[in-house]
Amino acid sequence: MKNKSILFLFLLVSLPLLGQKTESHNAQIARHLELFDDIYRQIDLYYVDTLSADTTIGWAIKSMLGHVDPFTQYYPEDDDELRQMATGKYAGIGSVIRYNTKAKRAMIVEPYEGTPSQLAGLQAGDIILSIDGQDMLSVATPEVSNMLRGEPGTSFELRVRRPGEEEPLTFRLTRKTIQMPTVPYYGMVGDGMGYIYLSSFASGSTQEVRHALADLRGQGMTRLVLDLRDNGGGSIDEAINIVNLFVGKGEKVVYTRGKMASSNREYFTTGEPLDTVTPMVVLVNGSTASAAEILSGSLQDMDRAVVMGTRTYGKGLVQAIHEVSDRGNLKITISRYYIPSGRCIQAYDYRHLTEDGRVGTVPDSLTRVFHTRGGREVRDGGGIKPDVEAREDSLGSIVYDVMNSDEMLLYVTRYVRRHDHIAPAGSFALSDADYDEFVQYMQESGFESHRRTDEVLDLLRKAARLEGVYDEAQTEFQQLEARLKTDLASELQRQRAAIRPYLEEEIVSRYYFQRGRAQQLLRTDKVFDRAVELLHDPDAYKRILHP
């Protein structure tokens, strides 16, 4: 009885203290809002120039949210990015654009199949001159993108300059609702071997995967590779429903925990599965995140699939959409999620930065051990660690520079003009003569590669000068520079094996679009080959899942 009285007294004392703490927190918020209001009003009154409230307050909002985490963002009422993120839909012409530095204009990079841009005849490499008569010289890519988008059914005039054509071309385009497939490609890729590439999670993703899975089973699939590499996530509901295609009804896939009770939820599979027995490998990499980590992590925790690749991004946070006073929307992190083993795979601590201002990560030594359904050891705090580590080949700096260059795109445009058709996607290959022609084109185009060794050598020179040792080491610096220096043609030939697959992929995409690009990449994909090899060895597959 005495213990109960002490506990009751403690509660009576604690409740007022808790109330004081809440009041103190609210008073602190009110004081800082008052301070912000006073500062803004004085700037508005005394600053030498007139400031736009939309711009200035917009800066403040972005700065504040930028110090919370990268996923908490404000979207004005007229911003359709949020809708596209949630549904995978937007209204526009269906084309990827990027800035061409030499032309100082945005350029069409990839028209999507079946969209207004492709049906009208736009091609990769087309330089955008004007939109409805407005010159696009030096206009930033996001602004050009916004002008290409609009209400479905509205039309505009687009004027472009096409490489190889003397006169500009004019197109009349009508915007429509664009929804890109989240399964750009699936197919049989060998004896009984099925492959599904899932690029994101949006409205309809489950149906796309279900259709692909049913079709492959009808074609005699006995093994499956599910590719989630570079899948940045999306809808948590779609991820759970896709898990449900491979595991039984009533399984808890995810639960969430947040500050508000309404943020605490549990998600179960609710339907009958489509396939619970086909051996499966799930491919992941460092850009596999969010809903893609829920899918891969759940299948790992339930011992339903072997996860292969490299450690995933580590996003264990959940966002929700809240309306704000000006009819805009705030996407805000409301909870952490936990997958079937009970682990949260969040890797980054955005509230506690390191001494140099970077976002800290959880060191492996501080992660906790959890167990899959069959007793295998897994850990929290750092993304999904694959059951089988398989890395893609590292690429030299010149390979990245070539892949992202305007010159490569223009070469591909010239190649397409000279070839009415090519071999089917997955079997196309450039000849040695074609590659030699590409090397010559890159030399004549003025392409420049920013070699990382040159940058490091310059930094070393500066450090040597600061420390007063450069003069006596000058001869060694000159010898090192001479040894590292190569001409462009030699470097492109030396990196032939690495560059040619990406060049072939870009060419194939011009004829067979996204599905062709994905299919072509499998020809030289060593990680995919590892997955196929494992699935052809049932004993090795079983030893991983049931050691």
Task: Name the residues annotated as catalytic.
Answer: 290, 301, 315
What amino acid is encoded at 472 in this protein? E
| CA gap 180, 114 in Å, rounded | 10
3-class state of residue 197 by DSSP: strand
Percent helix / strand / coil, the chain, rounded to 5: 45, 20, 35
CB contact burial 456-490 (16+ within 10 A = b; e otherwise): ebeeeeeebeeeeeeeeeeeeeeeeeeeeeeeeee
- Do 94 and 74 form a contact (C-beta atoms < 8 A)? no
Residue 41 CA: distances (Å) to CA of 13, 108, 131, 189, 398: 43, 44, 39, 65, 52
Q: Half-sphere exposure of 508 toward its Cβ, with a 13 Å CA cutoff?
A: 24
| CA gap 537, 547 in Å, rounded | 15
Q: In sequence order, which residues have a C-beta less than 8 Å from that of residue 152 and are 6 or more positions away?
A: 91, 175, 176, 177
Maximum CA extent, the chain:
97
Quickly count: other Cβ atoms within 10 Å of residue 321's Cβ. Answer: 13
395 CB-contact burial (10 Å; exposed 0-12 / middle 13-18 / buried 19+): middle
DSSP label at 234?
B
Residue 460 CA: distances (Å) to CA of 68, 173, 397: 37, 53, 19
497 CB-contact burial (10 Å; exposed 0-12 / middle 13-18 / buried 19+): exposed
| CA gap 383, 313 in Å, rounded | 6
The tokens for 191 are 């004896």
3-class state of residue 387 by DSSP: coil
- Nearest 5°: the CA angle 295, 298, 303 is 125
What amino acid is encoded at 9 in this protein? L
Q: In sequence order, which residues have a C-beta less than 8 Å from that of residue 242 and are 6 or more positions away?
A: 198, 201, 205, 206, 209, 295
| CA gap 266, 256 in Å, rounded | 7
H-only helix segments in 391-495? 397-403, 406-418, 432-445, 452-466, 470-484, 488-494
